[in-house]
Amino acid sequence: MVTAPPSTDVSRLHAAAVARALSDPKRLCVVEKLGAGERSVSELSRDVGCQVPNMSQHLAVLRAAGLVASRREGSTVRYRLVDPRVLDACRLLQQVAG
């Protein structure tokens, strides 16, 4: 298997960083939207209901955690999920929270 359960200090550190990135409702919403396909910053800020600079910061957080990646397309920048398992993580979080 790819992932034995060693749980070293560093792996916990990274996992905590990922959890941190997912610990905001707006970012959770962004991840869900991106689960349906690429979106631009302005689309996401409209869907989530925040200003563009704010969304840009949230996306920067998600990117720093390695959860999303960006791609320039003409004058717009389109974001996507790096790993579809992030969506699973979101759903699992909601189940546990339920």
What is the DSSP secondary-structure string of 84-98? THHHHHHHHHHHHH-
C-alpha angle 89/32/81, rounded to 5°?
Answer: 75
58 binds DNA (CB under 7 A): yes
Q: Minimum CB separation from its own copies for residue 48, in Å?
A: 10
Q: Contacting DNA (CB under 7 A), which of 1, 75, 95, 97?
A: 75
Distance CA 92, CA 57 (A): 25
Select the binding partner of residue 22 from its own copies, DNA, none (C-beta < 5 to 8 A, by kind): its own copies
Which of DNA, its own copies, none interacts with 4 (beta carbon under 5 to 8 A by kind)?
Answer: none
